A = this chain, B = another copy of it.
Amino acid sequence: MVTLAEVAQHAGVSASTVSYVLSGKRSISTTTRQRVEESIRKLGYHPNAGARALASSRSNIIALMIPLRTDMYVPVMMEIAIAVAAGARTHGYDILLLTGEEGPDAVRRVTGSGLADAMILMDVELDDERLPLLRDTHQPSVLIGLPADTEGLTCVDLDFRATGALCVEHLAQLGHRDIAVIGEAAAVYERHTGFAERTLDGLRTRARELGLRLLHRPCEGGYDAMSATLARVFDERPDTTGFVVQNESAVEPLLALLRQQGRAVPEDVSVVAVCPEQVATQASVRLTSVAVPAQEMGRRAVEQLVAKLDGRGSDEVVLLAPELTVRASSGPAPVRP
């Protein structure tokens, strides 16, 4: 293994000079810099991560905590995680992957050992058990998702309340008066997951303001669950012409069942989805949708965190504005006889 000392010797300079060439923390004459860089290349030197961490009390590692809930839509999580990893690298950080298994202990372990300099938490619940720990520790952190109380925390999320409002507005403009919301599995609401409740709040508030009737039904994924849910919806509200879906695994079943019942989309019924772009464009009907900007969320989370690590940085809630893309699944409400 090549050490910094060996590089120094090879280049005929002191160890500290090599160190400073690497960190750029003080000015170096062009000639020595070149000699050092050449030695580094020639010897194939790689600074030792452990030694660096020990001497500088900085690991250059960001912990990313992904609680594994089976009822969450995985691809979005993955997309965010990948964006976080890529973003972190551009700032010189690596990502340590923590799954939910350990729960809050993982926070203690990582902060206590100096394994990571900071952490990003995904899939935050409204009253998340990891939050008290975060507030206590001095560990810089960013949440992806919004808890109930954001005091003293930095959060990045899609503005789901605005998302809900946007969906309702779109349908209202098209003349729909009775709207059904096909939501996430009931467990998601029972857990008081932030995004689900906030979307619902946005939907309800705007519907009330616009004088629309809104029916919300949680729904598991798959055909059977969707079939039952759909039956109930039309049973309770036969005049329903607008649907808002926020559940990736219910999208295709919904479309298939509507088709099967002879309800044409968008002629008889309009559908607006809150889902990843890919799901919206690859569905059997191209869906009017509000996309979850996974990449953007990952990128922004890293930026916030790096800002904190660099001393500029503030506790701030970053809500990304939703964008609704009109595709083939929404159209004017049918004229009622």
Contacts and interface: CB of A to CB of B under 8 A. Distances in A.
A96 interface: yes
A48 interface: yes
Most buried by B among A46, A82, A94, A112: A94
Interface string A87-105: 0010000111111011000
Contacts of A82: 66, 68, 99
A109 interface: yes
A114 B52 CA distance: 11
Contact of A86 (B50, B99, B253): B99
Contact of A46 (B74, B75, B112, B222): B112
Contact of A51 (B54, B68, B75): B54
Contacts of A1: 114
A115 B89 CA distance: 14
A214 to B, nearest CB: 27
A254 to B, nearest CB: 12
Interface in A113-144: 113-115
- In the assembly, how many copies of this chain are there? 2
B94 A95 contact: no
Interface in A35-70: 44, 46-54, 57, 59, 61, 64, 66, 68
A222 B64 contact: no
A201 interface: no
Contacts of A95: 96-97
Given A46-B113, A49-B59, A284-B223, A81 B97 contact: yes
A109 B75 contact: no
Nearest to A112: B46
Contacts of A283: 223
A85 B113 contact: no
B113 A98 contact: no
A77 interface: yes
A79 interface: yes
A109 B59 contact: no
B49 A114 contact: yes
A256 interface: yes
Nearest to A255: B256
A44 B284 CA distance: 57
A27 interface: no
Contacts of A221: 282
Nearest to A45: B112
A50 B47 contact: no
A75 to B, nearest CB: 5
A325 interface: no
Nearest to A2: B112
A157 interface: no
A252 interface: yes
Interface of A: 1, 44, 46-54, 57, 59, 61, 64, 66, 68, 74-75, 77-79, 81-82, 85-86, 89, 94-99, 101-102, 108-109, 112-115, 221-223, 249, 252-253, 256, 281-284
Given A50-B51, A74-B75, A256-B284, 4 more contacts: A68-B82, A85-B97, A94-B115, A253-B282
7 contacts: A1-B114, A49-B114, A50-B52, A51-B54, A74-B78, A75-B75, A256-B284
